[in-house]
Structure 1
Amino acid sequence: MAVPLVVGVDGSEASLEAVDWAVDEAVRHDVPLHLVHVAATEDGAGDPVAVASERANRNSSAVKLSSEVVHDDATSALVDRGRNAFALVVGSRGLGDLAGLLLGSVSLSVAAHADCPVVVVRGGAEHRAGQFGRVVVGVEEGEGSGTAVQFAFREAHARGSGLVAVHAWSVPVGNPGPPGLSGYALQATERPPAQVLDDALRGSAERYQDVPVSSQVVEGSARQALLAAASDADLLVVGARRRHGRVGLQLGLVNHAVLHHAPCPIVVVPQI
């Protein structure tokens, strides 16, 4: 039996936009859709689920749909259901979040603690509807990007989209090097940034040969490079390392920034 795509719903417009996105994703990957509403009280708890279910059925009658109402902490309930999920999908802001927050507290907490990929559905309608035909993946040095790259290739393949792989780098602080030696040449004495990108893409590129790939090696801020690349993308994919000896993921400053500011839906993929 296929594992489901799990969506958190709370009656907010953002969560309904997440349902819209998730329906398309479930059809794309031929997986069932499971709606989860975390209710604080018994009264009226089923209403958000009913509204979300009607919306999902209206978008596509082909999706196998199930739902449940849970009385628990929202983050704990969603993370628990993500342990056996294709991915977790949440809106960018829930009913209980303050208007000034760029990203809802539950969405951020779920992204930091889930065992499966977490999709935060945000951005304009054209981004959410997949009108650009581009998936962007951030690639970093080390082992934090392996599963993110695999996810991004699989997603681009399922969408029939192109893939843009972005690797940003900068000269190490306190290591200016000899006069006249460029930052890239300094890096080349260790591992050239272009090689970091090529090595990260090689395995998945061989598997998904139908996916057109463009590579961007950017000297400077990873945050700015990813947000710029995502400006005309349908999806931004980033990886997250597990924290040694602690529960949850090491999101880092870059992931926090793109979760709050990405102009399109963003996926945080845990490194396995």
Structure 2
Amino acid sequence: MTIPLVAGVDGSEASLEAVDWAADEAVRHGVPLHLLHAAPRDHEVSDVIAHASERAVKGAPTVRLSSEVLHDDAASALVDKGRNAFALVLGSRGLGDLAGMLLGSVSLAVAARADCPVVVVRGAAEHRNSRFNTVVVGVEEGEGSGTAVQFALREAQVRRCRLVAVHAWSAPLGALTTPQAPSWYALEAHRRSPAQVLDDALRTSQEQYPDARVGRRVINGPARQALLEAASEADLLVVGARRRQGHLGLQLGLTNHALLHHAPCPIAVVPRI
């Protein structure tokens, strides 16, 4: 049995935009779409599921669709479903969130706790509707980005678009020849190492997705800024996330926490194994 793509719905416009995105994504990957609405027992739910189902089928007539209502806390219900899901798809803000919030509390909690990839659908329609033909993935030094790179390569191959792998780095203090200007030769020596980070991260995974077109981008500067700039012309931003203890923002890491709040396009948070 094929595991489904699960989309959380609550009747908000953001969740309906997530349903649109999830329906297209399910068809792209040939997996079923399962709509989940979690609410207290005294909450009216029939219209929420019916409206979301109609919207999914209207946007993607061939999608294989199922739905479910659970009387449970939304974040807990979604995290539980994520244990056997292709991915979880959520809107950026729910009905219960304050209008000024950049990211809803449920989306943040699920992104921090889920065992499967979590996609938070955000940004303007041109980003949500795949107008840029580009997926961006953030790559860190070490082996921690492997699952994110695999996810991003699969997305790029299925979408038949290009993948831009971004690695941000900072020149060490020893590379400075004066307090004002870095030595070009010293920076070039350190730049080779970041470039190798990208090569190492892509080498093994790229063999599994030979049709994916991959570009590399090494940027001297903060990862948050580099990824936000790259995502400004992307349909999807993919990042890896460790599972830490503590406050939700710290569990995700400060960079990922900022990206979830400010990314101009849908963002996928992929747990590291």
Q: Scaled by the length of structure 2, what TM-score is found?
A: 0.92
1:34 aligned counterpart, secondary structure: strand
2:45 aligned counterpart, secondary structure: coil
Structure 1 segment 70-81 matched on structure 2, within 5 A: 70-81=70-81
Please state if 1:198 is matched with 2:199: yes
1:176 aligned counterpart, secondary structure: helix
The 1:244–1:112 alpha-carbon spacing in structure 2 relative to 1, beyond 3 Å, is closer
The 1:103–1:211 alpha-carbon spacing in structure 2 relative to 1, beyond 3 Å, is same
Structure 1 segment 180-259 matched on structure 2, within 5 A: 181=183, 184=187, 187=190, 192-243=193-244, 250-259=251-260
CA RMSD of aligned residues (A): 2.1
1:268 aligned counterpart, secondary structure: strand
The 1:181–1:43 alpha-carbon spacing in structure 2 relative to 1, beyond 3 Å, is closer
Deviations 1:97-139 (CA, angstroms, capped at 9, x unpaired): 0111110011011000000000000011111011110000000
Structure 1 segment 59-74 matched on structure 2, within 5 A: 59-74=59-74
- 1:245 positional shift: 11
Unaligned runs of 5+ in 1: none
Structure 1 segment 3-18 matched on structure 2, within 5 A: 3-18=3-18
Deviations 1:155-200 (CA, angstroms, capped at 9, x unpaired): 000000000000001134xx43573655635647xx8100011100
Alignment check: 8 A CA contact 2:168 2:218 kept: yes
- 1:60 positional shift: 2.1
Deviations 1:184-242 (CA, angstroms, capped at 9, x unpaired): 35647xx8100011100111222222111111000001111000001110000000123
Q: Scaled by the length of structure 1, what TM-score is found?
A: 0.93
Alignment check: 8 A CA contact 2:45 2:69 kept: yes
Equivalent in the alignment of 1:82: 82
Equivalent in the alignment of 1:265: 266
Alignment check: 8 A CA contact 1:249 1:270 kept: no
Q: Which stretches of structure 1, 4 residues or longer, exceed 6 Å deviation after superposition?
A: 244-249
Equivalent in the alignment of 1:131: 131
Unaligned runs of 5+ in 2: none
Equivalent in the alignment of 2:2: 2
1:127 aligned counterpart, secondary structure: helix
In the alignment of these two chains, the number of paired residues is: 268
Instruction: Give me the identity figure in percent.
Output: 70
Q: In structure 2, what is the Cα distance between the partners aligned to 1:67 and 1:45?
A: 12
Give the aligned residue type for 2:3. Answer: V
- 1:243 positional shift: 2.8
Structure 1 segment 43-192 matched on structure 2, within 5 A: 43-172=43-172, 175-177=173-175, 179=177, 181=183, 184=187, 187=190, 192=193
Q: In structure 1, what is the Cα distance between the partners aligned to 2:42 and 2:15?
A: 20
Deviations 1:234-264 (CA, angstroms, capped at 9, x unpaired): 0000001233799998411110111001110
